[in-house]
Structure 1
Amino acid sequence: MDFDYSKLRGRIKEIYGTQDNFADALNMGRVSLSQRLTGKLEFTQDEIMKSCELLKFDPSEIPSYFFTPMV
């Protein structure tokens, strides 16, 4: 199943300005982040939890950022 990361992308832009800046904060390469945001790779639980902290949203919001099905 493919997921819609548009809400996550918006939050990244809002907080970090660019995906590159967010990738750095996440200690991840920009290509690795891009592969996750395009659905080529999956986010790990650790990456999701760290994203939650870095992007300042409550863990209860994880489904809306990471698991919204693509329509």
Structure 2
Amino acid sequence: MFIIFNHEKLEERINAMFDNIEAFGKFMGMSKQRINSRLKSATEFTQSEIEKAAELLNIQPEEIQTYFFDVEVCRS
């Protein structure tokens, strides 16, 4: 069993507000590949990245859990 983060809602918000991941990455100071790595749960968002993304995406503190920590449990 392992846990992955589901960032689908976050990706939808990025696309709605910035049109694409690459444009969002420029504001974050991150490459498209680095953003994709986090969205696909290959690497985790850091606390400072979460704070900056929440500010850019107008995500309220009480909504951060929904966008960054929605988990899926996978059994293999």
TM (normalized to structure 2)?
0.89
Greater per-residue strand proportion: 2
Letter in 2 for 1:4: N
Residue 31 of structure 2: aligned partner: 29
Give me the CA root mean square deviation.
0.9
Q: How far off its partner does 1:58 sit? A: 0.4
Q: Indicate which of 59, 62, 70 corresponds to 1:60.
A: 62
Letter in 2 for 1:24: K
1:11-68 per-residue CA deviation (whole Å, 9 max, x = no partner) reads 0011000000001110001111110011111000000000000001101100000000
Residue 5 of structure 1: aligned partner: 7
TM (normalized to structure 1)?
0.95
- List 4+ stretches of structure 1 deviating above 2 A: none
Structure 1 gap segments, 5+ residues each? none
- Percent identity over paired residues: 37
Q: Alignment partner of 1:65: what SS?
A: helix
Residue 50 of structure 1: aligned partner: 52
Larger Rg: 2
Relative contact order (C-alpha < 8 Å, sep 6+): which is higher?
A: 2
Output the CA distance in 1 between the equivalents of 2:32 and 2:41.
Answer: 14
Pair 1:39 & 2:49 matched: no
